[in-house]
Structure 1
Amino acid sequence: MYKNTGSEPKMANLPYFLDGTLNINNRWVKLAAIIPWTDVEEIYALNFTSHTGPKALPARTAFGSLIIQVKLSLTDEETVEMISENPYLQYFLGFERYKQEAPFDSSMMTHFRKRFGAQGIKDIDELLHTATRKKEEDSNDDSDNDPPSNKGSLIVDASCVPGDIHYPTDLGLLNKAREKTEEVIDILWCHRSNTEDKVKPRTYREDGRKSFLSIVLKKRVSKKKRREVINRQLHCVRRNLASIDELKKYADLTLLKPSLYRELLVIGTLYQQQQYMYDNKVTSVDDRIVSIHQPHIRPIVRGKAGAHTEFGAKISISVVDGWTFTDTISFDSYNEGTELISQIEKYKERFGYYPESTHADKIYRNKENRAHCKKHGIRISGPSLGRPPKDEKLRKEQKDIQRQDEAIRNQVEGCFGVAKRRYKLDRIFTKIKASSETLIALIFMVMNLDKALAFLSLFGQYYKQLLEHFLNFISLISQGEHLKRRVIQ
């Protein structure tokens, strides 16, 4: 029998439910127990040097909100809304009681990312690794005078983190620059001081728009026609920039919004680059701008089948015993092969000894890296230099070792895959350079936190079962002793 009690919950029971005891086995309760909040607060407090002004939000609230956003893949607004709805999230942020109102405005998430920064997140990740990794016993083979022997393996690789920008083309960038400069001219003209001048600078915006659409609406366009339209757009941008220089004499640029003023400065550099490429008939230039809104983004040549070129930050990571360290985050393209020596030295700084082996792809196996690994007794993966040995047995052993090394190196590929598919590293939606770097470091730190939480949960279940078996064993012994007394009696 089923009795319909009503589809709407009784609001009278809601406060009693929220005042109840939280489940100690909840993931957010467990996660709060392994984070070094004291160290987080010390890093967070470095941003506040003044002793006056309004009181800032606690470090646990700021740092915990960033973890919640990355772990649940939420926007800034959704993060604040989720916190106000979930008592476990409020406990994770250090609240003493449940509050139904929003703890802070969603715009504070941007300030949280700025205050911690990418380096601050890396420092916290190092502290988490130190707190969670198993303490190793000192080897009896190493004396106090001898240096420690090499231990462990270091896996390194690099990848690109695409930013949230429209696919850049020369024509599209120039059209956007033309529209932005026309907007600046309209604002300065309305606020000019010489109102007696009635002739507004010409922009020919309709002609510029028509020439742009004559290309983008066609499936196939000849190279000659494309250069003709690009030249037309360059002419429009050049004329608009000259008009803005004249209007600056009678209208202050402070009338513009800060974002529009920054874009105007970017357009000046963009025009110089595009004019240089047009005059010299080249398709690349140093520090090429591919987005007016995010001028820090650079093209990163990948050479992959899916995307030959990606636009975003290039990162280098190292994986040690399943823990991922973010070594380099740069929006400028660089050769990751030059990073291996610094990654090996960071390994030495973290653990006190060099790795026994380093697993990397072909670009890392240059002359300098091989010499550095040989100097410190580190075996680098991949085929050795010179001809293969004539002995078939020895040649087969080398191939087996290379196959095993490649299987070990696949771990870092899996880390990139998990970060991009599970934690949304495949598209970064933050617009500011510093915020993007912080978010990238946060993603890998949260991924490490989940691994540490799973590891602790696994061992917790193991020790729980071990304790149950021990108690059962004790009860069996006590039952046996009781039966023995009865037989004697």
Structure 2
Amino acid sequence: MIAQTFQDAFSPQWLKTHLPDPTNELITLRHIIPWQAIIDRLVPFYNTQKGRTGQPLRTMVAVSLIARLRQFSDRRVIKEIKENRYIQYFCNVPDAILKTCMHPTTLSTFRKRLGIQGITFIEEEVFTHLRDAHAIETDMMLQDSTVLESSIIYPTDVRLLYKAFDKMAIFAKQAQIEPWWDQAQIKKLWRAHNLDGSKPLAYLCAFHLLFEAALETFAEYQQNLPDGSLKTQSQPLLDALLILDEQTQLKLEGQTHIPGRLVSLDDLDARPIQKGKRHPKTEFGTMLQLSFNRQGFMITAENFIGKPDDKKLYAPTLERFRKRMGASPSGAVTDLGYRSPKNLRLSHEDLDWVLMGERSDVEEAHQEAALKARSATEGFIAVAKNLRGFGQSLYRGLEGATIWTSLNQCAYNLKKLLQLYHSELLSEQTRMALRL
């Protein structure tokens, strides 16, 4: 059961006593974010008649946003609410329940309940409000891709096989089965491998022989389990270990390029992604496709497994940009990775001009603006990765990466709005429209 509305938890006297700085960014954001519109979208995720009354949606959304705005973990953000009056005000947590307001695991439960769809609703409502207030302009589309790294240890073939035994040990414990391999032998071989780096293929072959025998027994145990949660939960692990077995055999046969190579048993969707930059040459995670407008607002953000061809992503991203903004940009800026005759024709039909990595793509009248926009794109990507949390996802799997991306996109745009708001680049009419 969940409340469908919210009440302001603070009196004017409380504000005067505890919030001496009326220009604080959290006070500004509290009056800009469309709380009720977000709550209306999220209420259907709960039963409004049955069950124990949950945490107010107004508070849950605010805590999720402040965690991404300030780059806090779940545990840290709850601690900050109790110590920082501005954060307390932003999250609408009254003094009466401040000490026991929420447990950190409640945030994880909240994200699981909403899933990708619910978290996307939060981002959509904030974005729509900023767009409808004319804070976000449609002038041009800046498009580029990067890597959303997964929080995994650097993968090696031997390490993956060693990790596979750990995963099977967890299964054995849950199924109340004694491990069916010699764990002492595995540890001895692992220590020898770490001390001797001169024979990697020899150790890989030794690990693989032990792993194949253990995998065959694991498959038998898994298939003989009674239908239930353990059998269902262990099936993805079995599928992953079969893939690991196949790719290890290919590696031992001398193959160096293995399509769709598994690099982690903790994050099965992570992939090795070759970068155009010299260092690091390869990153491990998901492909992150971003588009911005010239102000620096992030208009679209999508995650993909592996590294799809940028050329194929150009048209769908342009269409998403148009749909979100409700209008077509006058121009588009990309790098050479998106360049193809088809994309150039598409751009010239639908846009006034386009830069796809070459100055000659653009008439002289637009060249300076287009080249500056291309440089700005690199800056926006750098800010997103290094300052706004897009450098590495703390969630596992493509679904987790998408939830992480959606929350970060919302926080990124709110931070961008604050920069414009406090620099007085927004008109007074836009400011009034933003403040609900």
Which bin holds the TM-score, normalised by the shorter protein? 0.7 to 0.9
Letter of the aligned partner of 2:99 in structure 1?
E
Larger Rg: 1
SS of residue in 2 equivalent to 1:329: strand
* CA displacement at 1:404 relative to structure 2: 4.5
The alpha-carbon deviation at position 364 of structure 1 amounts to: 1.5
Cα pair distance change 1:347/1:96, threshold 3 Å: same
Q: 2:405, 2:62 → 1: CA distance?
A: 16
- Residue 459 of structure 1 aligns to a residue in which SS? coil
**How far apart, in 1, do the equivalents of 2:162 and 2:96 lie?**
51
- Secondary structure in 1 matching 2:17: coil
Superposed displacement of residue 49, structure 1: 4.8
Change over 3 Å in CA distance of 1:169–1:403 after alignment to 2: farther
Alignment-derived partner of residue 170 in structure 1: 157
CA deviation after TM superposition for structure 1 residue 336, in Å: 2.1
Of 365, 379, 383, 2:353 maps to 379
Cα separation, 2, equivalents of 1:99 and 1:88 = 16
Q: 1:382, 1:271 → 2: CA distance?
A: 42
Q: Is the 8 A contact 1:185 1:243 kept in 2?
A: no
Output one character per residue of 1:392-446: Cα deviation in whole Å (capped at 9) or x when no partner. xxx9x96895454222112221112112222232222223542321122222221
Instruction: Return the alpha-carbon distance in structure 1 between the equivalents of residues 373 and 328 of structure 2.
Output: 18
Farther-moved stretch of structure 1 (111-120 vs 438-447): 111-120
Measured after TM superposition, the shift of residue 40 of structure 1 is: 0.9
Partner of 1:232: 206
The alignment status of 1:426 with 2:391, answered yes or no, reads yes
Query: 1:180 & 1:346 partners in 2: Cα distance?
Result: 40
Instruction: Report what 2:286 is aligned to.
Output: 313
Aligned position for 1:413: 378
Could you tell me the percent identity over the aligned residues?
A: 20
Cα displacement (A) at 1:244: 3.0
Equivalent in 319, 336, 339 of residue 362 of structure 1 = 336
3-state SS in 1 of match to 2:141: strand
Instruction: Give the aligned partner of residue 205 of structure 1.
Output: 183
Using the TM superposition, give the Cα deviation of residue 356 of structure 1 relative to its aligned residue in structure 2, in angstroms.
2.0
Tell me how many residue pairs correspond in the alignment: 411
Alignment partner, residue 72 of structure 1: 70
Could you tell me how far apart the structure 2 residues matched to 1:186 and 1:353 are? 57
Q: Residue 246 of structure 2 corresponds to which residue in structure 1?
A: 272
1:326-383 Cα distance to aligned partner (Å, 9 max, x none):
2322233211222222232234334444322211111112111111112224311157
Q: Which residue in the other structure is 1:31 paired with?
A: 29
Counterpart CA distance in 2 for 1:446 and 1:51 is 32
What is the RMSD of the two structures over their aligned residues, measured on CA atoms? 3.4
For 1:126 and 1:253, how far apart are their aligned partners in 2?
45
Alignment of 1:469-488 (within 5 A): none
- Assess, with a 3 A threshold, how the Cα gap between structure 1 residues 416 and 121 changes in structure 2: closer, same or farther: farther
1:129-170 CA-to-partner distances (Å, cap 9, x unmatched) read: 32442599xxxxxxxxxxxxxx72211111111110001111
Q: What CA distance in whole angstroms lies between the structure 2 residues aligned with 1:367 and 1:282?
A: 34
Q: Give the structure 2 partner of residue 22 of structure 1.
A: 19
CA–CA distance in structure 2, aligned partners of residues 97 and 204 of structure 1: 57
Decide whether the 8 Å contact of 2:262 with 2:271 is kept in 1.
Answer: yes
**Aligned in 2, Cα 1:182/1:63: closer, same or farther, shift over 3 Å?**
closer
437-446 or 247-256, which moves further after superposition? 247-256
1:173-204, Cα deviation, whole Å (9 max, x unpaired): 0111133334544665x558xxxxxxx84x23
With over 3 angstroms needed to count, the CA separation of the structure-2 counterparts of 1:184 and 1:57, relative to structure 1, is closer
Residues 251 and 365 of structure 1: is their aligned pair in 2 closer, same or farther, counting only changes over 3 Å? closer
The structure-2 alpha-carbon separation of the partners of 1:78 and 1:102, relative to structure 1 and needing over 3 Å to count, comes to farther
Instruction: Tell me: CA distance 1:208–1:95, structure 2 relative to 1, closer, same or farther (3 Å).
Output: closer
- Given candidates 54, 59, 62, the residue that maps to 2:60 is 62
User: Which amino acid is 1:227 matched to?
Assistant: L
2:28 corresponds to which letter in structure 1?
Answer: K
CA contact (8 A) 2:287 2:303 kept: yes
Instruction: Tell me which residue corresponds to 1:4.
Output: none
Counterpart of 2:246 in 1: which secondary structure? helix
Residues 355 and 205 (structure 1), Cα distance of their counterparts in 2 relative to 1, 3 Å cut: same
Instruction: Say whether the 8 Å CA contact 2:286–2:303 is kept in structure 1.
Output: yes
- State the TM-score, normalizing by the size of structure 2: 0.82
